[in-house]
Structure 1
Amino acid sequence: MLHISLYVCPQTVVSSLSQAHDCFGLANHLAGEPLFRLSRCSRDGQAVQLPYARIDVDGDLTLAESADLLLLPATGSDIARTLTDNQTLLDWLARRPASQSLASLCSSAFLLAEAGQLDDGTATTHWALASQFRQRYPRVRLQVQHLHCQHQQRFTSGGAQAGLDLCLHLISQHAGPWLAEQAAAALVVDRQRGEQTRFQPLLPTPRQDDPALLDLLRWLQRRHAESIDLETLAARLHCSTRTLLRRFKAATGLTPNDYLQRLRIVAAQSALRQPQQSLEQIALSVGYQDRATFARLFKQLCGETPGAYRRRVLAP
């Protein structure tokens, strides 16, 4: 029997904790025998008050020392607060031997990385936290496109529902693919869900401190299918092309051309949800003169071809 201890702290996301607990509990039920022993632990062995529930635990970190796997449910997006408030856990994690399995869901990859447990290995986390993670932990090879990663006995998952993908992966490793498939079917989820990056919004949220640039973005949204050059955009902003590039990058993190291509692909995604138009017609309608260029950019940004995207979103 695999002993899995789930760590609970004031930052723990209730849905992430219950998701993991329910997934392994379901596997036990489907197997007809207790393949996974589940326990909950906290820093001091005391119950933890969360926004929506008071979580009782079975012990402190001493309990986790005897576990085959310590699993850290998601801890939200306030990374600085999570790291500051969980120093006892970080010190404890830093002492964990390579033989003990450690896993994190979503943002809790920061806890494993802060303790040095992901150094020189691969990991993933929520796509929205990728830039912050890379800056803080250059020794970790972040593969944010993946829903979950494994490096030796260290496991990490992407954002939110990707935690379920990792739990199913752990079930498959310990109890076999058949049980993982049965659990996935009972949970009504697909085990082959592609890459996390396809859930990432293509268009960034622009900064709000440049009203004229925001007006330009709205104009671009209406005219994305037209042929637009830097000079045209600079004229509308009443500035030089050099100033345009600087202000555009500051507001969106992208060049005008990158932003325009993303606008077109977002429009194409919407059109692909309607079965009436051919791929050639959609390519033309969003601003591309040939299907090959459209298909190449679509796959580059979305991680799948336009045809694959259409089949997936129109599947019954």
Structure 2
Amino acid sequence: MTSVVLALYEGAMLFEAAAACEVFGVDRGLAETWYDFRVCGTQQARLGGWLRVDTPHGLDALADADTVVVPACDDVEAAPPADLVDAVRAAHERGARLVSLCTGAFVLAAAGVLDGRRATTHWEHAAALAARHPRVQVDPDVLYIDEGSVLTSAGKAAGMDLCLHIVTLDHGAAVANALARRLVVPPHRAGGQAQFAAVPVAADARHALADLLHWVDGRLHEPLTVPDLARRANMSTRNLTRRFTATTGVTPLRWLHTRRIHRARELLETTDDSVELIAARTGMGTAATLRRHFHRALGVPPDTYRRTFRNPVP
């Protein structure tokens, strides 16, 4: 039997903690043996900013757990509790499997276990995670990442996806699918599927590149290149790339590509334009090119995305 410990702490979020309890803590008779599930943490820790819990175990329960689950935190600006960070680091060094749900990744990063690894968190906090922990390879465009002994997930529903992924690893797809049916949630969403996050039109209007970003955003239908952007900004290509990356966190080409995909999403949601016309309006050229890049970025083809997110045309 695999032991799973849910580590609660002051400021942990209720939804993610409850998701782990539902998946790992309730034996529904779907497998011959289920998880030895325990909840540990600081006594009288407050969840979700209002609910205090009396955990039956302290953080010393992490010492012999096979899997440690760290739920999201409500304040990513605050340093995680030092005793939790130490316990997570010790569990990792001992060989435990570590799982973070949403912003629980900030706890794992503080413990150093994400250094040199790909990791994800909620798209809204991905930039903060990358800035605070530059050795972590933050990917904001996926639901979850399985690095073997360390697994991280994005926002709330993605945390459930990761928990079901772990059940698949431990008990097989049939058991995970049966559990998903019991919970009335989708049976499986691949980790590489995108978060469908809203992408800002441009970065902070106060920074030096704001005018350039606004200019580019109005010309996505044109075949713009990085040298085009550099000329507009009156910089060398090298200097623009350096300034751009420092300001936005991505290269000019990556930002431009992301904006084209985002514009395609908007048009798919709000217009009846064909994929061919949307490809032209977003600078993708052909429908085949748009379909290829769209599927690579979001994990679904444009037609599927439109059926899922279509808004009525006014």
Distance 2:259 2:97 in 1: 43
Distance 2:90 2:135 in 1: 18
Equivalence map 1:157-168=2 (5 Å): 157-168=153-164
Residue matched to 1:54: 52
Query: Which deviations, in whole Å up to 9, do the C-alpha atoms of 1:222-241 show, x marking residues without a partner?
Result: 66546889999999xxx963
Give the C-alpha shift of residue 76 in structure 1.
Answer: 3.4
Cα contact 2:192–2:299 (8 A) shared by 1: yes
Where does the alignment leave 5 or more consecutive residues of structure 1 unmatched?
none
**For the structure 1 residues 254 and 54, does the alpha-carbon distance in structure 2 shift closer, same or farther, using more than 3 Å as the test?**
closer
Sequence identity of aligned pairs in percent?
29
Instruction: Confirm or deny that 1:207 pairs with 2:204.
Output: yes
Give the C-alpha shift of residue 58 in structure 1.
Answer: 0.4
Query: Which deviations, in whole Å up to 9, do the C-alpha atoms of 1:70-114 show, x marking residues without a partner?
Result: 2111113524x133xx11122233333433332221222232232
Instruction: Confirm or deny that 1:87 pairs with 2:87.
Output: no
Equivalence map 1:294-305=2 (5 Å): 294-299=290-295, 301-305=297-301
Normalising by structure 1, report the TM-score: 0.74
**For the structure 1 residues 125 and 253, does the alpha-carbon distance in structure 2 shift closer, same or farther, using more than 3 Å as the test?**
closer
Residue matched to 1:6: 6
Instruction: Confirm or deny that 1:175 pairs with 2:168.
Output: no
Aligned AA for 1:64?
L
Distance 1:133 1:268 in 2: 28
Aligned AA for 1:59?
H
Cα contact 2:212–2:233 (8 A) shared by 1: no
Residue matched to 1:31: 30
Instruction: Confirm or deny that 1:187 pairs with 2:180.
Output: no
Distance 1:296 1:175 in 2: 34
Give the C-alpha shift of residue 21 in structure 1.
Answer: 0.9
Distance 1:178 1:160 in 2: 23
Query: Which deviations, in whole Å up to 9, do the C-alpha atoms of 1:279-304 show, x marking residues without a partner?
Result: 22332344555434544554565455
Give the C-alpha shift of residue 205 in structure 1.
Answer: 4.8
Distance 2:146 2:99 in 1: 9
Query: Which deviations, in whole Å up to 9, do the C-alpha atoms of 1:208-263 show, x marking residues without a partner?
Result: 3269956983x76666546889999999xxx96349x97x9487667888766655
Distance 2:118 2:217 in 1: 38
Cα contact 2:11–2:46 (8 A) shared by 1: no
Where does the alignment leave 5 or more consecutive residues of structure 2 unmatched?
none
Cα contact 2:12–2:46 (8 A) shared by 1: no
Give the C-alpha shift of residue 160 in structure 1.
Answer: 2.5
Cα contact 1:8–1:42 (8 A) shared by 2: yes
Aligned AA for 1:187?
V
Distance 1:73 1:48 in 2: 13
Cα-Cα RMSD = 4.1
Distance 1:287 1:7 in 2: 47
Query: Which deviations, in whole Å up to 9, do the C-alpha atoms of 1:145-168 show, x marking residues without a partner?
Result: 443333443332233222112211
Distance 2:250 2:97 in 1: 39
**For the structure 1 residues 115 and 211, does the alpha-carbon distance in structure 2 shift closer, same or farther, using more than 3 Å as the test?**
closer
**For the structure 1 residues 31 and 279, does the alpha-carbon distance in structure 2 shift closer, same or farther, using more than 3 Å as the test?**
same
Structure 2 residue matching 1:70: 3-state secondary structure: strand
Give the C-alpha shift of residue 55 in structure 1.
Answer: 1.4
Aligned AA for 2:18?
S
Distance 1:99 1:264 in 2: 43
Cα contact 2:117–2:147 (8 A) shared by 1: yes
